[in-house]
Amino acid sequence: MTIGALRAAGVNLLRQHGVESPELDASLLLAHLLQKDRTWLVLNQGADCDTGIEAQYFSLLSKRTAGFSVAYITGVKEFMGLDFTVSPAVLVPRPDTEILVENALSWLTTMAQQKYKTCKVLDLCTGSGCIGISLAYYHPDIELTLADISQEALSISRINGERILGPEKCRSIQFVQSDLLAFFLENHEQFDLIVTNPPYVPRRIIPNLAQEIQQEPYIALDGGEDGLDLIRILITQAKELLVGEGALFIESDPEQIGSIQELLKNNGFHAIESYPDLSGSLRCTRGIRLIR
């Protein structure tokens, strides 16, 4: 069977099972298996594949039809132009989260120009490390800490730090197991910037999410009854850990934006702004800690 015919068979199989993006997923899985990119597939669609490749390809397709995401099957997800290692121990990085990173980068650039200082940055609920590591990749002059309650997640973030930033830079990163900001409160550590994509899905909604999302770690999804349980706590904690004029960036569901803005205001934050995601819905919110 040729590469083109094999891909077409994969598209048909995924379509029959109701996969939302059969063309893209079939191509990504085949490209991963052949260790090529999708452009190579197009240019070489007339080349023959051996039966071993065919069998492996249909094995990957069967995982996809069983509800596993392409990222978990391949172990890789692109984010901010970088390839991150992922596993079922962490959330799959999503394009909408890039809005959080882009706005945090803009804030860091402004601070660097105004204050000429190295900013201490904390990526809380870091998971794969995609937010903090992307910040360090595109703005190398930061002092980075990655924190998560899950030791498995921290292991994945360390792998990504070493692979994307290099072993030497990764050695300067602090990896901390912490229940939200408890560790840093106990150790009286302060930061210029805290960025976080915390669990914010209302508990009652989780069973109704797409099957592939339900493969992701429950602890990274569950935000309590209204999705704001952990966000309430971390905003209260963050006001104690940020330096004056330090910033907190939080990703959330668009319907939670108003509540988060009010929580920030009530906890001594100002210059509160929210930013739209790729669909135009507000997705992340920034608050600046008043000078104490």
Packing angle of the helix pair 51-65, 3-16 (nearest 10 deg): 20
Instruction: Give me the sign of the Cα torsion angle 157, 159, 162, 164.
Output: negative
DSSP string, 90-120: SPPP-TTHHHHHHHHHHHHHHHHHHH--PEE
| C-beta atoms surrounding 45 within 10 Å | 14
Contact 173, 167 (CB under 8 A): no
DSSP structural state of residue 86: -
CA angle (162, 220, 63) in 5-degree steps: 80
Q: Please state whether 228 falls in left (phi above 0), alpha (psi between -120 and 50) or beta.
A: alpha
State how far the alpha carbon of 4 is from the alpha carbons of 39, 47, 58, 214, in Å. Answer: 12, 8, 14, 32
* Residue 218 among known ligand-binding residues: no
Here the tokens at position 135 are 């910040």
* Residue 167 among known ligand-binding residues: no
| 3-class secondary structure, 202 | coil
For the CA atoms of 265, 267, 270, 271, what is the dihedral angle to 10 degrees? -70
* Residue 198 among known ligand-binding residues: yes
Instruction: Give me the sign of the Cα torsion angle 50, 51, 57, 60.
Output: negative
* Residue 148 among known ligand-binding residues: yes
Contact 3, 30 (CB under 8 A): yes
* Residue 199 among known ligand-binding residues: yes
**23: Cβ–Cβ under 8 A, 6 or more apart, which residues?**
11
| 3-class secondary structure, 106 | helix
Please state the residue numbers annotated as binding site: 148, 197-200
- Binding site membership for substrate: which residues? 197-200
Give binding residues for S-adenosyl-L-methionine as ranges.
Answer: 148, 197
